[in-house]
């Protein structure tokens, strides 16, 4: 008996039955997750579009751009947070170059380092952290071995800053070879004497001696850090996160890394506006004192010639001082100015893409000063009010350090889709 199913129909049935499950795509539904849980100390910034406006010598450039979702630190990086980085690097140097104690290393794996043929030994941080920092808390016999790496600073024995270096890899961006893998070596100890250097003929020695190391200032923003040091800290923070999640099957496959915010990310987060047409100034400049009913400043900046203290402090303040903006971020205006990832150009907004714009250039120390300039945003405790605008920008050499420049970190985030993208039945209008 001849089949009633045509040959072509039978072929289609067979093909349909043989299709692997990868072609059974689910219908798109609105994501039930309303928000992403940010890493500790960060806030989630949803994707958005805004007017990318830059003020350069009274000439304003304006352009509409979009940024994808990201996480950003709620606060500037503190002295305490940066000290953890310095201590980690110091411990690494101590274990690797001075102690040569097998008890501080993981069991040998047989792997070698590059083409050197030397065996790769990984530090067992679970043991090091019990007595970290080694140069301060280790037993006397261990400290004796570390004596060659110590020096005197402000009357205290501390690790020699020239020896406390961090090595990390990155893809160098130079406008020509944007895929060259490079290793950089950065001395991470902050420049403590920036207070006297920035303010000659002023009594600043007490700030030089205490600001980075005294517990009084541990929650104040770290200063005296160059752009390269800030970038090294961001890389280290990424490695620490990856170590934390390596045993978590739900997270270990994600490629997560920290960096300095791009100029566009910084401005978008600082403005915290609901739409490109939102003209509301969301920076909280003053608050009303509940006890007295008087209006008080809520920004840390220089109020005029010789006037620094009307905002509640002469220098920097703890990073959670005053009121956060609509995104929950503190001190995007005032306290300290902040390094961004971008190279500086007066025409940046016209050179970059309109999606996730960034002007990246990795200059070497041999490049001309013009090529080493990096964008600084936010205004600081020593700046006048006009520097606090979210679209005002300045720059400095990537290897310069100051008492009024700090930084915060960002991390890319995944886009949260909403109700509008779910699958629907087709209906005629």
> What are the tens digits of pLDDT across the range 144-203?
999 999 999 878 899 999 999 999 998 888 867 677 888 999 999 999 999 999 999 999
Q: What is the pTM of this model?
A: 0.90
Domain presence at residue 361: yes
> What are the tens digits of pLDDT across the range 351-396?
899 999 999 999 988 999 999 999 999 999 999 998 998 888 999 9
Positions of E strands within 180-244: 180-187
User: How many domains does the chain fold into?
Assistant: 1
Domain presence at residue 293: yes
| Percent of the residues in the chain that have a pLDDT greater than 70, as a whole number | 86
- Give the CATH number, domain containing residue 187: 3.90.1580.10
Instruction: State the Cα–Cα distance between residues 33 and 40, nearest whole angstrom.
Output: 19
Domain with 306 in it = 42-412
Domain presence at residue 134: yes
Report strand pairing: 405-406 vs 337-343: parallel
**Paired tokens of 359:** 């002007």
Domain presence at residue 7: no
Domain presence at residue 390: yes
- Torsion region of 300: left, alpha or beta (phi above 0 gives left; psi -120 to 50 gives alpha): beta
Domain presence at residue 429: no
Averaged pLDDT for residues 332-346: 96
Going by C-beta distance under 8 Å and a sequence separation of 6 or more, which residues neighbour residue 21? none
Domain presence at residue 296: yes
Are 123 and 106 in contact, with CB atoms under 8 Å apart?
Answer: yes
Are 105 and 121 in contact, with CB atoms under 8 Å apart?
Answer: yes
Going by C-beta distance under 8 Å and a sequence separation of 6 or more, which residues neighbour residue 169? 181, 182, 183, 184
Domain presence at residue 15: no
């Amino acid at each position: 008996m001849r089949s009633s199913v045509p040959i072509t129909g039978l072929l289609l049935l067979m093909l349909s039955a043989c299709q692997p499950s990868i072609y059974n795509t689910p219908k798109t539904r609105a994501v039930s997750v309303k928000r992403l849980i940010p890493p500790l100390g960060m806030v989630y910034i949803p994707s958005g579009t805004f007017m990318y406006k830059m003020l350069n010598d009274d000439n304003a450039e304006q352009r509409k751009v979009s940024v994808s979702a990201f996480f950003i630190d709620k606060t500037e990086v503190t002295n305490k947070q940066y000290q953890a980085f310095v201590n980690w690097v110091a411990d690494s140097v101590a274990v690797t170059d001075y102690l040569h104690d097998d008890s501080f290393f993981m069991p040998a794996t047989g792997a070698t380092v590059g083409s050197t043929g030397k065996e790769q030994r990984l530090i067992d941080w679970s043991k090091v952290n019990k007595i970290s920092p080694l140069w301060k808390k280790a037993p006397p016999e261990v400290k004796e071995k570390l004596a060659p790496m110590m020096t005197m600073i402000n009357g205290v024995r501390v690790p020699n800053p020239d020896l406390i270096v961090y090595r990390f890899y990155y893809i160098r961006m130079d406008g020509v070879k944007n895929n060259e893998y490079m290793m950089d070596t950065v001395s991470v100890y902050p420049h403590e004497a920036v207070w006297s250097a920035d303010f000659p003929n002023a009594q600043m020695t007490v700030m030089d001696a205490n600001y980075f190391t005294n517990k009084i200032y541990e929650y104040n923003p770290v200063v005296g850090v160059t752009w390269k040091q800030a970038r090294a800290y961001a890389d280290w923070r990424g490695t620490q996160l990856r170590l934390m999640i390596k045993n978590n099957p739900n997270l270990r496959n994600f490629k997560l890394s920290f960096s300095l915010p791009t100029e566009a990310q910084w401005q978008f987060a600082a403005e915290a506006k609901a739409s490109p047409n939102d003209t509301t100034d969301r920076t909280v400049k003053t608050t009303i004192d509940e006890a007295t009913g008087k209006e008080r400043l809520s920004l840390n900046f220089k109020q005029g010639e010789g006037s620094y203290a009307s905002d509640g402090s002469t220098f920097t303040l703890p990073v959670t001082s005053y009121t956060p903006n609509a995104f929950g971020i503190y001190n995007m205006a005032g306290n300290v100015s902040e390094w961004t990832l971008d190279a500086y150009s007066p025409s940046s907004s016209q050179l970059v893409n309109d999606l996730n714009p960034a002007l990246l250039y990795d200059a070497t120390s041999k490049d001309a000063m013009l090529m080493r300039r990096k964008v600084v945003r936010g205004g600081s405790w020593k700046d006048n009010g006009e520097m606090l605008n979210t679209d005002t920008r300045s720059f400095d050499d990537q290897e310069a350090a100051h008492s009024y420049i700090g930084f915060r970190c960002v991390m890319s985030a995944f886009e949260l889709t909403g109700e509008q993208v779910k699958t629907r039945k087709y209906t005629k209008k």
